[in-house]
Structure 1
Amino acid sequence: MQLNCKVNVVNRLLPSAGQSGPSRLVWSNVTLTENKASVIELSLATSRNKTGMKYKVTNNIEQIFSKFVSQGKLTLRFRQPAHDLCLSGEVRHMEKILAIIKGEDPQLKKGTLCPLLSNCANKVVIPKTKLNILSRADYPVTTSFPDTLTSLKISGIALKKFDRRLLHLKALEVLDLSSNQISILPESIHTLAKLKQLNLNHNEIKVLPPTFVNSTRVICLDISHNQLVMIPSCISRVSGLQILKLDHNKLRSLPSTISKLRSLRTLTVSSNEIRTLPESFQTLALDHIDVFGNPFEKIEQEIALNPESLNLKVPTLRAISAKSTIKFKLVS
């Protein structure tokens, strides 16, 4: 079995010598093999370590930390050498390694040594985490999107439909589909569980799916320059939302529940058809707001110009002086 993931090798003997090793994860190529003696070995290669490292796994694992394997994290503690291997990668890869080490997976290559030790630098592949597609020619039609992507921008290519393949990018944190022709968002968009920023400006979207409220990690939503006519009241459930851009739509009102977005700091709703703002609007702790270009209703109240009709009682100067004398105890 061979895979790419991030690895941090921790030497447990360094602290006793008053030293500390590297504390960051490095992209590495990990290979698990089984030799003719049925001994499982783990080989680790990085672009800097050209000779590679090999660990005996069979009867050499002191402890396995697998509490967060469902989040793609796994730590192996070896007896000899006194190293901890902290692995971070795809959940299915971590589960596969765990199954092999526990002897629960029979799919091991017998008699195969690590092929990376002779040419590690050429074999270590750093998975792509960022991808920008700005022309139709660059759009993957016959190939899939790398499932390691954390940031994806597909902008200005006249994309008419939301590509459902994007829903399989479980590591995605930033998605930019601006300046396209998308009109419908999938109901299952909330399955992008790690999504933090979603940019959909300059499209043709008319409805924000109610299921979007389950995207609880989203902190920035830009859906300006679309065809929205309303915002669902359940938007308040996106509790972490900090930036909300709704400019240049066809909104006639904002839901009163918007006041429940306690983390909201930036709200722009310029150039819509909004006539009034909800009363609860004033409870928002905004740093920036833009409501320019909306046909707000003017509240006009006629005031009589005849002083006698106002029935105003203005105290005399003597009365004001007497009140101040008593209040501040000015009598000697």
Structure 2
Amino acid sequence: MPILLLLALLLLPVLPPAAARAADLCPRDAMGLRVGESLTCTCIPAAVLDAGSVAGSDVYTGDSRICRAALHAGAVTRAGGVVTLRVIAGVTRHPGASRHGVRTADFGPWRQSFTFEEETVAGPRLCPDTMAAYAGSAERLSCICPGSAALRAAAIWGSNPYTADSALCRAALHAGMIPITGGTLSVAMVPGDASYAASLRNGVQTREFGPFRGGFTFQGTPNTSPGAPTQAPVLQALRREGRVALYINFRTDSVELDAPAIALLTELREALLTQPTLRLRLLGHTDNQGGPGVNNPLSFRRAQAVRIWLVREGIAEPRITAEGRGQNDPIAENTTEAGRALNRRVEALRVD
């Protein structure tokens, strides 16, 4: 080889391997990236805890602090971690929310936005807490209300239409659009009214209010007949709320998994594989049938059965713990079959 060519090769910059490049620190925001570009980078704790501004939820304005948004989205913990974000064309609305100790701002259109890779999923998403960020628009939304959201005590003003800042899933229960076990909603924003009347419907009391800048109403066929509990999308719930109730099928008074349980367990396993730093505490819960002497050990064995399945399918043992809570933490009344079905669950809690 000629000496000059050899010297030129030796002087070429040495690029780090792909894994090392993926560990580069995240930039402050995404404004230096192009629409369509993806970036895998590391958020250090100082960047995660940066008090800089963030606007949006799941989709954030391009000038939002990336690592602070990652904590809000549940893509990292306060200890930091590796994220993959994708820059997209600016959307018309960036609704704010409070998640994982981070409150983001509402914002309108921005010239470019970004989302985290795992958030780009098809189909209905979990419903927002309220539609306040959409007030004054004519937007429509399809979303999922699990039973736990419908039963959560929260303020509602009006009687279909409701004020935009009313609790959405609780309002859907009031309107008879979902039963206590949850369901999928079609929501339409409407102009603000001069007044909103209070009423008691389906066991939910709303409040009256005067003029408000915007409201929402529901479309579709009412449904007040409880069925099986509506399962929240696992990764979405873990990232948004840090917890998800898993309605796993076990045989009666048994820890033996029914075949339909495997699809949900696989979804949980994929969530753990998607976020390698994610650790979970599994809490088993029962209804009140059988008494504490039966339910306390049964709830632990069911949580442990989920843990054993995950470990057998390749999840490291230290990432998952199991506990039993028996009948001590109901989320619904045990006086109906629907309420008991909601209480029979294995809850997965994110451990920071």
| Shorter-chain TM band | under 0.3
- Larger RCO (CA under 8 A, 6+ residues apart): 2
Structure whose alpha-carbon radius of gyration is higher: 1
- TM-score normalised by L of structure 1: 0.25
